[in-house]
Amino acid sequence: MDDFPTQHDDEQRLVRAAQHDPQQFRPVFQRFHPRVFAYVASRVGSPDDAEDITAEVFLRVVEGLGKFQDRGPGSFAGWVFRIAYHEVVRHAGRVKNRPAVPLDALPDLPSHDLSPEDAAQQHDRTRTVRAALAGLTPRQQEMVTLRYYGGLRNKEIADVLGLDERTVAATLSRALGQLRALLTETPEAATALQETDPWT
């Protein structure tokens, strides 16, 4: 069963608490920081830059939190990642010709309640998916990183990029199909994308 509405209720409670009392922002930060940092680090030139940009993202989130209006499930995540997306674009305009982050330098997705063995297996699957991302177009990479590193759904990705949800769905479908084809080139990677994508 999809627990998106339940997640929204919990998220809405945390956001409202933070809007009324800035001291209550920590739970919101703790929930979104790993995802935002993972997304930003996948798009910029160095882990140090990713840390700086992520800090700027959350500064802007704090500054704008009082004006945020909940518009249903996914609206807060879409808002946070829209800020992150624009900060990444702003960074790209300042820094030209900088090499991409080495695949091994990118952070893993959060591993909640995983045993050491399961966490190691997730790490291996994550590296496999990262390597395959290079075979996608820039737009496909943007959508996949928002989905895979940011954990966003199609509607949230559409909000971030200012696109129609159907366009996102179609582009992601093609991108994920290409990724699966690339991943099946090695037997051990055959199910990597399905196992690491939380929304498939």
The string of pLDDT tens digits covering residues 127-176 is: 666 677 778 888 998 998 899 889 899 999 999 999 999 999 999 999 98
- Output the pLDDT for position 123: 54
CB 112 within 8 A of CB 34: no
- Output the pLDDT for position 118: 54
Is 20 strand, coil or helix? helix
Is 197 strand, coil or helix? coil
Place of tokens 């069963």: 1
Low-confidence ranges of the chain (pLDDT < 50): 1, 99-106, 109-114, 187-200
Looking at CATH, the fold of the domain delimited by 112-200 is given as Arc Repressor Mutant, subunit A (1.10.10)
User: How far is residue 140's CA from residue 8's CA, in Å, rounded to a whole number?
Assistant: 27
Ordered by start, the domain boundaries in the chain are 1-107, 112-200
- Output the pLDDT for position 88: 92
CATH number attached to the domain at 1-107:
1.10.1740.10
